Amino acid sequence: MTGDEPLHALARGDGGGLLHHLLVDQAIKVALVLVALLVLALGMRLIWKKAGRAGPARRDDR
């Protein structure tokens, strides 16, 4: 296996399967990035709430 098989497949006109593979691969990568951003946003929101930054500002009048 030399790594040139996808190029030979395109040259033969057999690129439909390769194109499908590349599109599915890209879709999976985009989905992983979106899930990672969602997890990051939820984690930041949780930390923000735990730190007491949610809601109106508090004043200590003691």
CA 17 to chain centre: 24
Task: Kindly write down the DSSP assignment for every residue of the chain, as one continuous string.
Answer: --S-HHHHHHHTT--HHHHHHHHHHHHHHHHHHHHHHHHHHHHHHHHHHHTT-SSSPP----
| 7-51 pLDDT per residue, tens | 665 566 666 788 889 999 999 999 999 999 999 999 999 999 888
pLDDT score at 27 = 96
Global pTM reads: 0.58
Q: At residue 36, what is the residue type?
A: A
Query: 3-state secondary structure string, 22-35?
Result: HHHHHHHHHHHHHH
